[in-house]
Amino acid sequence: MYGTLLQVPVIGMEFERFAVLLIASLAGGAFGAALGALPSFVFTGFVVFLGEGIAILQREIGSEIGAVEAGDIATGVTGTIGFGAVTGPHIAFAGGVAATAYAGRKYPEMEPDDWDYHFGKNILYAFGTKPDILAVGAIFGVVGMLITRVMGGLGFPTDNIALSVVATAFLARIVFGYPIVGKVGGSSILDMSPFEREEKRVAADGGTETGRLATEPWLPHQYKWSGVTAIGLVGGLLGGFIWLRTGSIFMGYAISAMSLLFLNLGVEKIPVTHHITLLGAVGAVIAMPAIGSELAALLAAGAFGAISGLIGELSQRVFYSHSGTHVDPPAMAIAAFMFVLGLLYLAGLLPNAGYLAL
């Protein structure tokens, strides 16, 4: 009774525990700004990989580790750390994205000479120990945590971590004076041909903005519809296969996130696939009880991966390419796709909602 009275409304957490999470989220958001958004997300991959590996091991050997209940260790690593205050994308990555948006306005002189986009999109950049930038990351880390917890408490039927990543990115645009969509450089909002022609953005005085491209696709090596579909199919199949053999929905996601270390180190043409492998696993999870065939589940995984990849590409063409900050296409794809699946499950049209706790 006493503990219930001291719970935070909607979030459903005791005040002291919430205060600890709040302070940790401040640190996690600042940590994401210090490391940079993309490097912090690479750490998400490594931590989730560790947590899922422990979970798989526990399922195989049973709960024989003292008095620890099955799943407790994995939950501590995957949930509390990987998707929590330390490297959770809604906290660390979101803090890094907001810090980059802030620096794009406040410190344009920091922009590397070889960066062709607006500096506010450079999520590879680590800001180290600059206090005001760390403070921005900290604030947005807390905001990201609150959005995730509140939407989860309300039972909103999607991946609320992904939803929070998107919401904080748009909030950063508003707070730091960037347009929500931005000026379209081509014949339509979906037209990427100005990038292919290397056209420069037209400045207010009629000249060109130095070094700034008119259209800035999220990934110069991953924006053509055919290529996105192909890598979506491949990644979805692998995500589904990993779930079929290990029972882990998030192992494929973790491998995809870890692979971005090479992208951050400058290896060209590394694809971004965590939204693809994750939804591939979800496709297999949904199809398996409905159809009862591993082959059918694997094919569904491929289809889900391709669809997720295409949603991400559509998202980047609308919300990333024309403004000056990073709004994450994979997070938009995950949030949108899982929202549709959540609604279909609640309507009784699907046997489950993947990993959503509905």
pLDDT at 135 over 50: yes
pLDDT recorded at residue 204: 55
pLDDT recorded at residue 59: 80
pLDDT, tens digit (0-9, with 9 covering 90-100), for 310-325 = 999 999 999 999 999 9
pLDDT recorded at residue 286: 97
Q: Is 230 helix (H, G, I), strand (E, B) or coil?
A: helix
pLDDT, tens digit (0-9, with 9 covering 90-100), for 41-71 = 999 999 999 999 998 888 877 655 444 444 4
pLDDT category at 146 given cuts 50, 70, 90 is very high
pLDDT recorded at residue 329: 98
pLDDT at 279 over 70: yes
Sign of CA dihedral 4, 10, 12, 14: negative
Q: In the chain, what percentage of residues exceed pLDDT 90?
A: 84
pLDDT, tens digit (0-9, with 9 covering 90-100), for 147-176 = 999 999 999 999 999 999 999 999 999 999
**pTM listed for this prediction:** 0.93
Which among 24, 340, 307, 326 is positioned nearest to 159, based on CA atoms? 340
Contacts of 341 (CB under 8 A, 6+ apart): 282, 286, 350, 353, 354, 356
pLDDT recorded at residue 4: 53
DSSP for 291-355?
Answer: H--HHHHHHHHHHHHHHHHHHHHHHIIIIITTSSS---HHHHHHHHHHHHHHHHHHTT-SS--TT
* Mean of pLDDT values over 260-282: 97
pLDDT recorded at residue 38: 98
Answer for the pair 329, 166: CB distance below 8 angstroms, yes or no: no
pLDDT category at 202 given cuts 50, 70, 90 is confident
pLDDT at 130 over 60: yes
